[in-house]
Structures are given as C-alpha cells and as structure tokens.
Structure 1
C-alpha cells in the first residue's frame, strides 16, 4: 500500500488552517500539485498565490514571518532551492525567520518531466546554509507528522517531498521528532541508512540480504540536518560498515553527511547509493530508478561491497 507525501502535506496544512491562526501559506503557481490548495480551501484569507515569482515568494514569506506569522512556502524543489537561493540565504536563514520551505517533486522519480524538473541537488544546497533544518520524510504518514512538527519549531526549515506514491512504513499516528533517527530493523553485519523513499528499498534490501544469511540494520534518517550522528555511529560501531541510500546526488546529500560523521568518529567502509554526478532524463519513474541504480538490488550489491571492505 502506498500514498503520496504531498497529499499528506496538504492534509496537515488543512488541519493547521483550522487550529492555528498564525499559519500563512504561500505558493508559486503550483498549489494544485504541491497540495497547498488544501489549506486554501479552509483559510483562503491566509493563502497567498504569488505566481511564477519564487524570489518574491521568499521575500514575502520573510516579511510575514518577521511580523509574527508561521509561514509555509511551497513549489517544486528545483525552483524552491535553485531560483531563490540568495533570498533564502539572506532573507530567511541569516535572520532566522520562521519560514518553512516545503518542496515537492523531488528526485528522479518525478519521471517524464525530465532533468529540468528532477531535483538531485536540493539537499546539498540547503544543507550548506547555516541555521537551516533539512528534512526528508520516509513516507506519507511521516510527511504529515513532520509538517505538524516543523509548524511547532521556530526557525528556518527545508522539507523535500516526492511526487509519486511511496510504500507506507509508519502508522498513521506516528510522532516526528526533528533530529532523531529511527532504527527500523536491527542487524549485525552492515548498516543500511536511507532517507525519503529509499528507506523502503533499504527494508527490502535487508530482507533479501537476510535470505543470504546477512544481517542488516536499517536506519531511517528523516532529518539530514541536524544529523543524528549518535545513532549512525552507534550502529556502525556494531556492524563495522555502512551503505547510504538517497534519491539525490551522492555529492552533498545524506551520503556526504554520514561520511563526514563516521570519518571523524568511527571510520568504517561506506558505500553511497544515489545518483552519480549526473542529471536525470525523461522516462517512467521505475525505469529511471533502475537505470540510475536506485533500487533494492543496488542496495544489496552495495551492502556486499561494503562488507567486503571490512578489515
């Protein structure tokens, strides 16, 4: 059973519209796709359609936040992190404004829209900005819970969501704690660390590995920044090697964050599963995930490679 994260983001916004008078939502001409339209149905007087003007959207968001509002600003990830980087850096992150930038249509599974719309660099871009929290939920239920959590947290936040249906991993009433990793499966031979929809592939890979007598621990890193380094280091100390899996470039994303943490505290073999310094292309989502090495089979192969490098 699967569900689209963006749909549950819309549901969470609709709930916030009823419960919080301080919440304002902005969109850049994509409300039907990002599902911010669900907020508009409940509180149209607190919804601002900025149009195709992403830089202006961030400026307006900053101003509203400075006046005491909790602001959600949404569009596709390539536009949210690319077109208005300077505005995010100087108008949101630098003054620590209470703005939540929530992007949809992340990763290569956007499919037929092609390279121009497949954000494979957004985590890296936002991770590098001081004061910015970076979140990538594992499924739709966690996306809902994360939306409610960041509404309570003051300060800048970036959250990336997918376009397509993802398998559901968590129960509907899951709680989300910013900066906390979840160990979804315990193991002793290798640590599989996933984010976003790749978490479900990590679980599939762990099951396949167990059939070959290999015990894999699975960790969901939904908050990439701040990283739960204690959970990562604690696991790799036990297993002695690791694999990271993300629907994002291996440069600057989850793989880089984990590599930085373990290299400083507990150096072990690490293999990163993600796109390899490349743009995507147009095609069916499943075919693209396979072509670019983002499947459970690729994680299984990476796990065996990581294990083989143990001292």
Structure 2
C-alpha cells in the first residue's frame, strides 16, 4: 500500500488557492497528513512511503493468523513527509503572483494587492501583485513614486528587501532569482518622465542569476514606446553592485557609490532606475537622456510557460 502517490493532488485539492498558502493553513494541512499517517501506520504491518520502506514486518504468525505488528520508524516517516510537503509547496507556491486573486490580498491599492507567498529557498514573503495590467499575474519588484524610501542601500538590503510594498520598494535579489531562474519570464517597466510623458519598456525574456554570480541580469527582447529606445541593453549580463559591493568590473569606476544606487552597472550606466529620487541629473532616476518621476518594474511568467 502507498500513502503518498496522490500527495500532490491532495495538496492541490486541500489548498483551493495554492499560491497563497499561509502559515496557519500549512500547519493545518500538515496536521491532517500527520494524523492520517499515524493512524495508517498503527494499523499496517508493512509500512512504506513511496518506494521507501520505513518499517519492517513483524515475525511470522501461526498459519492462518496475523503475526505481531512490525516496528515503524516514525522519525523517518516524518522526514519523508516533510520533504514531500516541501516539494509540493515548491511546485504550487514558487510562482509568486501566478493566479493571484484580490480577495486574498493583505492590503490593496487601485491595481493590485500585497499577498503572502511561499518562495523556495526564501520562505514566506509578502509581494505586491498587479492583477489588472494586461491580464494580471505581475510580480512588482521595484517602484519609485514619491521618494520616501532611500535607495542608496547596502548589499544586504538589496539581496533581501526594503521599502513599503504599496509605495516605494525593492523586492529583493534573492527572491527575484528564485522566481525567475527557470528563465520563462517576461518583464515590463513603466516610467513617467518629469514632463508627464508615459513610457513602457517590455522585454520578452528576463532572468536574475544566482547570488554566487552576484545576481547577474539576463534581459532581452525589447519592445515599447520609449523615445530613446532600449537603455537596459547596456546592462544585460552585468552583475549587481551596491555602495558596499562593487561588481562593475576591474576597469570600471565604483559606479554604485558615484551614482547613488544599486544597479547592474557597467562603466557606468545608460539607465539608473534606483538612483536618487530627488536629483535632476544622471544621479537621479535616469533613462538616458531623461530623468523620471516614476518607475515600476515587474515580471510574470510568459504565456504558455
């Protein structure tokens, strides 16, 4: 007999909104599975979880009669169960804003809401999901709208997260890597110039590399209405730098310190969307040759992926 063949299906059925499993719901779910496993083990002579045998049959009984029950290694059962739960969560919850619904939001504004998602290798984390723009499912990872949050931050801040999810914020490089590493994401940047002109830059392919490679940017497939065109191309395949972590390359200046932000600098930039909100120069929020008063960056899974 096998208790975990239908495990993933059971998780999906239990969690009607699998992307947004909360801590309480997960604990409740684990409790159900643990109780079922305990009851099953207590009433079974030979115990297996999948193809792994976690107990042994008892001694052979008198012909025609059941022998004594076997000894079950419940510690091993628990370990296997925890692993299966983790695998299921990664399958269904490692997709951030996929399938996000406003009724699950912790906080809302006009376009979406802050929701709590399980992200592999990161854990539970609040993210802002735009559920209205072009069909929704966008995970917003950067927003500059009022200058309330200082973006001249340390490496640790940029790796983790900072700011207000309903205002100016940065989602965190490690979260971005975990959610884009499969390489099946598209990215969109919304920008408003100082004169009020609205720009959109879209990229058909977007991925952030691992921390071991300093979260290298991989972006391509530009389209949009930006007058000066694609100013992120120069930053493609660059590593991320901050004021205390210079990865610009041996021949470059320390661009993060010079231009007051964290970005995929080269020597130094064509765009600088994490620059100083209050500066009117290349040290401000910059998309060559223009300063911006608003920027928002988001990604989502490409259609069909």
Identify whether the pair has TM-score above 0.5, normalized to the shorter chain. no
**Which has a greater percent of helix?**
1
Q: Quick one: higher RCO (CA 8 Å, sep 6+), 1 or 2? A: 1
Computing the radius of gyration from Cα coordinates, the structure with the larger value is 2
TM-score normalised per structure 2: 0.32
TM-score normalised per structure 1: 0.31
